[in-house]
Structure 1
Amino acid sequence: MESSNREIAYEFPPRSKHNSFPVFIRVYRDGSVDRFVGTDIVPPSLHPVAGVCSKDIVAIPETGVSARLYLPNINPLRKLPLLVYFHGGGFCIETPFSPIYHSFINSLVAEANIVAISVHYRRVPEYPLPIAYDDSWAVLQWVAAHAESRVDDDASESWLRDYVDFDRVFLGGDSAGGNIAHNLALRSGAEELNNGGIKLLGMALIGSYLWGKERIGSEATDPEKYITEETTWLHACPSAKDNDDPRINPVAPGAPSLEGLGCRRVLVLVAGKDGLRDRGWLYHDSLVKSGWNGVVEIMETEEEGHVFHLFNPNCEKAELRIKRLASFLNQV
């Protein structure tokens, strides 16, 4: 029998009759953590076909927050859009170095001909929210500092300095990473990025993890089916009162208005069999009605589940999703 200090505090995802997933993460009462998925990593590379280069950097030495940078086969005569990307995984698993994320960003960079930085924010439960938000904001501020050479030479990154058009900076993320992207875009509407060094042009949200106390759409038909979404937030952000915290529910009573979103374009990607589909549509519709002065678009992929493009990247629908993202990232 295990000693009391190795008793399980909780598992993610929690067990239910609808949940056939393996346990992703197990947290013990002594504070130790076992991760069972999302732990594989691949090194940075030169893609043999697409020619995309990648490398790993430490963006914030004080906290050790790192990132993987991607550079396409570039035309040196012009600078390129930049995508600052936040991976998913319930705030607790996966990294930019995971095979699925490395492959996805490689494909997107090649298709869109952009520069990308995939952020390795610190994860829960060791680092509960809002730490991931703060890490991601710090990286975004560090990126912005390159726009007017405000980074010390020792901390400067040549791929950002030499190849990025800082008038075309985008945020993007899937699942929990989409949640992070939304919260940063909202913050950038209230606070300048490195004293106005850059302004965000757009944001792409892919199956974003947004939730709320009130059931909407298909959520109302079988509440137990959504037990993972119910509990993920409260484990990730122990200081939150409930699932109507504005960081997880942007349309909750008292939440900051979406009118203050700090970008001009938004693309929302949802999938028909994704349990978060209705939240994506609610975000889109609420943004349209908010008075925000921008353009929001939505694309739904029927008969597919949550972040299907990561797990089946060579299917036709995944390729269409990549092309739609690439088109969005090349808009002015």
Structure 2
Amino acid sequence: MEPTASEIRIDIPPLIRVYQDGRIERLLGTQTVPPGLDPKTNVESKDVVYCQETGQCVRIYVPGTVVTSTQKLPLLVYFHGGRFCIETAFSPTYHNYLNALVSESKIVAVSVDYRRAPEHPIPAAYDDSWTALKWVASHYDGNGPEQWLNRYADFENVYLSGDSAGANIAHHIAIKTSKEKLDGMNLVGMILSHPYFWGKEPVGDEVKNPAVRAKFEGVWRLASPTTSGSDDPLINPIDDQSFGRFLVCKRVLICVAENDILKYRGWYYCEKLKNSGWDGEVEVMEAEGEDHVFHLRNSCCSNAVDKLKKVAES
């Protein structure tokens, strides 16, 4: 019997469903909120198109106090998570987090929205993120199209960050900056929160159950249908022989959570980076008793507050 259009072809709860007729149903990360002045943090934000061809935007954040100042502030470029399939830079989850981080850190932040799989499979997310970073870098001499970046961003003091899939993107974009130089942008550091890396062989005490590991690979294959598998360098860059060789920044903070299945990849990243010949400083912060991206779901808990302060200090 032929399948009907309404039948589910791929079901990955609680993230996403794909139907036989190609319809996509996202189960999480579908809400959005507008930019503007946040009364809790006095942080201002606005959306700006960075790619006319695709219509993709960034959301830019500045502390309210900077509007009357000529002081240049460190610049953070942030990539949201969601297994490459869900969430956006405009979701309340990320909007609230960036407002809090900008307020605590006294920085300028650019939160990148990128095209998502499965409608736009990998490498669309990486391509968009690189296009966004090039657009940001075009403001280094104060003559770019966006005045907030011209006036307030210190391009000698740039950081990349992201959570989960966004942390994966941040790593690859950081590596690319060493291969394709961006004039006027000095990448100082990187903050990876609960990075979404994987691999065919377990590391540390990572789960060895074949069914669980197959589920992780299934999510990755949904995002990247042409992938070679769990050891694709995009999802497993850590075992690449050139790992760390092209990382230009000198500081890396990796945040993991005790109950997160991905925490072992974070520790493995730290270990491999230390032994790669890279001459920077890498540190891991582990939150006890917490799970994946807990700081986004429960931003008021003590571990989330501690994590925010640690990131702000970095």
Q: Which residue of 1 aligns with 2:8?
A: 8
TM, length-normalised to structure 1 = 0.90
Matched, 1:243 2:230: yes
- Greater shift, 227-236 or 114-123, is seen at 227-236
3-state DSSP of counterpart to 1:251: helix
Describe the superposition over 1:122-146 as per-residue Cα deviations: whole angstroms up to 9, x where unpaired: 0000000001000000000010010
Q: Which residue of 1 aligns with 2:200?
A: 213
Q: Which residue of 2 aligns with 1:273?
A: 259
Describe the superposition over 1:16-69 as per-residue Cα deviations: whole angstroms up to 9, x where unpaired: xxxxxxx32111233221112110111112111321001111111111111111
Alignment of structure 1 residues 1-332 onto 2, 5 Å = 4-13=4-13, 23-75=14-66, 76-149=69-142, 151=144, 156-193=145-182, 196-252=183-239, 254-328=240-314
3-state DSSP of counterpart to 2:272: helix
Alpha-carbon distance between aligned partners in 2 of 1:171 and 1:150, rounded to the nearest angstrom: 22
TM, length-normalised to structure 2 = 0.95
- Greater shift, 162-171 or 32-41, is seen at 32-41
Alpha-carbon distance between aligned partners in 1 of 2:175 and 2:20, rounded to the nearest angstrom: 35
Runs of 5+ consecutive residues of structure 2 not aligned to the other structure: none
Let me know the Cα RMSD of the aligned residues: 1.7
- How far 1:3 sits from its partner (Å)? 5.8
Describe the superposition over 1:100-131 as per-residue Cα deviations: whole angstroms up to 9, x where unpaired: 11111110000000010111100000000001
Cα distance change, pair 3–268 in 1 and its aligned pair in 2 (3 A)? same
Q: Which amino acid aligns with 2:149?
A: L
Alpha-carbon distance between aligned partners in 1 of 2:138 and 2:262, rounded to the nearest angstrom: 35
Alpha-carbon distance between aligned partners in 1 of 2:143 and 2:231, rounded to the nearest angstrom: 38
Alpha-carbon distance between aligned partners in 2 of 1:262 and 1:128, rounded to the nearest angstrom: 28
Runs of 5+ consecutive residues of structure 1 not aligned to the other structure: 14-22
Alpha-carbon distance between aligned partners in 2 of 1:85 and 1:150, rounded to the nearest angstrom: 22
- How far 1:226 sits from its partner (Å)? 4.2
Cα distance change, pair 227–161 in 1 and its aligned pair in 2 (3 A)? same
Q: Which amino acid aligns with 2:151?
A: D
Give the aligned length.
312
Alpha-carbon distance between aligned partners in 2 of 1:35 and 1:313, rounded to the nearest angstrom: 23
Alpha-carbon distance between aligned partners in 1 of 2:101 and 2:215, rounded to the nearest angstrom: 29
Q: Percent identity?
A: 50
Alpha-carbon distance between aligned partners in 2 of 1:227 and 1:98, rounded to the nearest angstrom: 29
Q: Which amino acid aligns with 2:28?
A: V
Cα distance change, pair 276–197 in 1 and its aligned pair in 2 (3 A)? same
Alpha-carbon distance between aligned partners in 1 of 2:209 and 2:191, rounded to the nearest angstrom: 29
Kept in 2, the 8 Å contact 1:8–1:29? The answer is yes
Alpha-carbon distance between aligned partners in 2 of 1:221 and 1:9, rounded to the nearest angstrom: 27
Describe the superposition over 1:273-304 as per-residue Cα deviations: whole angstroms up to 9, x where unpaired: 00100000000110111011211111111110
